[in-house]
Structure 1
Amino acid sequence: MMSKRKHLASGIALAGAATLVLTGCSGSADEGTDSASPEGGADRAIELAVFNGWDEGIAASQLWAAILEEQGYEVELTYADVAPVYAGLAGGDFDLVLDTWLPITHADYMEQYGDDIVDLGSWNDEAKLTIAVNEDAPIDSLDELAANADAFGNQIVGIEPGSGLMRITGDEVVPGYGLDGMTLIESSTPAMLAELQSATDAGENIVVTLWRPHWAYNAFPVKDLEDPQGLLGDAEGIHSVAATSFEEDFPEVFEWISNFKMPSDVLYSLEDAMFNQYDGDDYGPVVEQWIADNQEYVDGLTS
């Protein structure tokens, strides 16, 4: 049975409401950057798609935009919802996305478009879908949630409706743990985090859909609910997926991305700098400073 769902009204603009195209998103697009393609590259910008609200993908994409521009490439970042990104990759409108979760979360998209896209492998193998509550909540497991739904306002605060996390929560977790009496709220990642902040400040209980790695685990006193039935799946890998033309068009970048690895502690550091310590939309200076502070790691990505 499908769960009841409603939209969360929030003062925060939903990132998925429109596709935002950012050219030269490192914040220094024309400063010291050669607009011509490096040796072996196509004479056009690299079209890098970014899932709305997926902070690990935003962080990795902003990092690679800065790295590639420093290497002489032109990069365009396009923020979009999940489904249009895979359709765009298969159709050649995008070159690359860095935030495909496998083998579970985005499996449907890989099955649908697998013949027309290329999996470049995982850069982090510690990704996990979670349902989280405040650290002092009266429960520790999903199988306790139905009996204590009133303590959480009978609602689960979710993220973007097109995400794999929301699909699995609605289709598997809600019926599997008898949570049909709770409302699964469709919102956005920023709106969910705003609700989490509000509940934390007020000392109230809250249930949210979340995932690891995410900077919220450093910023808020939260804990994951145990999943004794395993409905949220095991740990996954975060993969880079490209258009079939990407290797031919950008062979050097194809090799770099294929070899890309980012441990969770390094990713947390970048996410914390971008989304927790900094309050703004221009990540260029933040990423530039993080690169300077982690130069040895960054240099290894293109060596």
Structure 2
Amino acid sequence: MFNRTAHLSRTTRRSVALVTGVALTLALAACSSDSSDSTDADTAATVENGDLQDVTIGVHSGWDEGIAVSYLFKSILEDEGYTVEATEADAGIVYTGLTGGDFDVNFDMWLPNTHKDYLDEYGDDMEQLGAWYTEAKLTIAVNEDAPITSLDELAANADAFDNRLVGIEAGAGLTGITEDVAIPAYGLEDMDFVVSSTPAMLAELKGATDAGENVAVTLWAPHWAYDAFPIRDLEDPEGAMGEAEEINSVGRTGFAEDYPTLASWIGAFTLTDEQLFSLENIMFNENEGNDNEGSVTEWLDANPTFVDDLKAAADAS
């Protein structure tokens, strides 16, 4: 966790009158600790655009899209002269840290459902900075050249998929929704629902697509598998897998006041499926999560206009 003194009173900034050296000494001697904190806030370092220089990013552990976007912004901001620190923690710790001033911003609040409880509890002490991805969802995916396009065709064509639907961990929400909602909704009870692990599911997906075989797996978007393998989602006419969610950026109270330029960039920030999936693929598949900063550099090299486009979109909004 971080605890920058500047957080304590940066929203109550005021000008300080010029005084003589003797008067200043007497004033400092009489100051309370609160006054010292206020002076520290008033003299906090800024970058050329006027934003505070120090930025702390709270990152949800294990949430690939949030890790990817956090390191993308870390790279962009450091090139602009900001000092950035990104720390991974459980979602509850991140949201508690935002409200307590330990973090400035988080890029991974899923709404309206996944993080609803956190929004209900902490929303009054956060600033909503904008949604950057609008199609976050649970899915059942198949190889791109599979003979079906919809989940309501899967039962009748189960033999084409070796009568198997490959899942992930037993305790995952995706597994529960597939087992309790999607399977009965589409009459898939006679298929073998293989509850395994995420790595095992991805290994089956890779093996089948490499071999040109049909495969059906439980998946979610965003995920790097969409960039790494020739796959597509099956349509879900019954809505059994749930509605798509938005991924939002949120800041601590006073964020937009302390970082007006950065707030405008975040408000204008979006990623297409192609952009997000390719960034995740480089970071978590090709580089196996071992070089997040290098992965972002590689992705920015492949997307050389991204930062300029983002700034232009912010200026136009």
Once the two structures are superposed, residues 151-189 of structure 1 have per-residue CA deviations (whole angstroms, 9 ceiling, x without a partner) of 5676542369566x556546643554466786574745x
In the alignment, structure 1 residue 72 sits paired with structure 2 residue 93: no
Alpha-carbon distance in 2 for matches of 1:243, 1:285: 28
1:257 counterpart residue number: 266
Please give the root-mean-square deviation of Cα atoms over the aligned residues, in Å: 3.9
Q: Which has more helix, going by share of residues?
A: 2
What one-letter code is carried by the residue in structure 2 that aligns with 1:221?
A: P
Post-superposition offset of 1:288: 2.0
Q: Structure 1: how far apart are the matches of 2:51 and 2:170? A: 35
- Consecutive unaligned residues of structure 1, counting only runs of 5 or more, are 1-18, 22-35
TM-score (norm: length of structure 2): 0.65
Q: Is the 8 A contact 1:170 1:184 kept in 2?
A: no
Cα gap change, 1:203/1:223 in structure 2, threshold over 3 Å: closer, same or farther? same
TM-score normalised according to structure 1 size: 0.67
Structure 2 Cα separation of the partners of residues 191 and 210 of structure 1: 12
**Aligned residue type for 1:241:** V
The 8 Å contact of residues 128 and 213 in structure 1, kept in 2 or not, is answered as: yes
CA distance in 2, matches of 1:278, 1:186: 24
Residues in 1 aligned to 2:271 and 2:101: alpha-carbon distance in whole angstroms: 27
1-structure distance, mates of 2:159, 2:253: 47
1:46 to 56, 76, 81: 56
Greater CA drift, 145-154 or 277-286: 145-154
In the alignment, structure 1 residue 119 sits paired with structure 2 residue 121: no
Report the alpha carbon displacement of residue 229 of structure 1 after superposing the two structures with TM. 0.7
Pair 153,75 (structure 1): closer, same or farther in 2 beyond 3 Å: farther
1:133 matched to which residue of 2?
142
Contact 2:225 2:277 in 1 (8 A): no
> 2:16 matched to which residue of 1?
none
Structural mapping, 1:194-233, within 5 Å = 194-201=203-210, 206-233=215-242
Counterpart of 1:102 in structure 2 is 111
> Within 5 A, what are the aligned runs for 1:1-303?
37-38=46-47, 40-42=50-52, 44-54=54-64, 56-135=65-144, 140-143=149-152, 148=158, 156-158=166-168, 165=174, 168-169=177-178, 172-174=181-183, 176-177=185-186, 185=195, 187-188=197-198, 190=199, 192-201=201-210, 206-279=215-288, 281-302=290-311
1:256 deviation in Å? 1.9
- Give the deviation of 1:68 after TM superposition: 1.0
* Structure with more contact order per residue of length (Cα contacts < 8 Å, sep ≥ 6): 1
Determine helix, strand or coil for the equivalent of 1:301.
Answer: helix
- The letter for the 1-side match of 2:167 is V
Deviation of the 1:42 alpha carbon: 4.8
Following TM superposition, by how much is the alpha carbon of 1:61 offset from its aligned partner in structure 2, in angstroms? 1.8
Output the CA distance in 2 between the equivalents of 1:276 and 1:95: 29
Label 1:106 to 1:42 Cα distance change in 2 as closer, same or farther (>3 A).
Answer: same
Structure-2 change in CA distance of 1:166 and 1:247 (3 Å): farther
TM superposition shift of 1:76: 2.2
CA distance in 2, matches of 1:136, 1:299: 37
Structure 2 unaligned runs (5+)? 3-44, 313-317
Percent identity, aligned pairs only, is 50
When Rg is computed on C-alpha atoms for both structures, the one with the higher figure is 2
Output the CA distance in 1 between the equivalents of 2:84 and 2:110.
Answer: 23
Q: Residue type matched to 1:49 in 2?
A: V
Which AA in structure 2 matches 1:262?
A: L
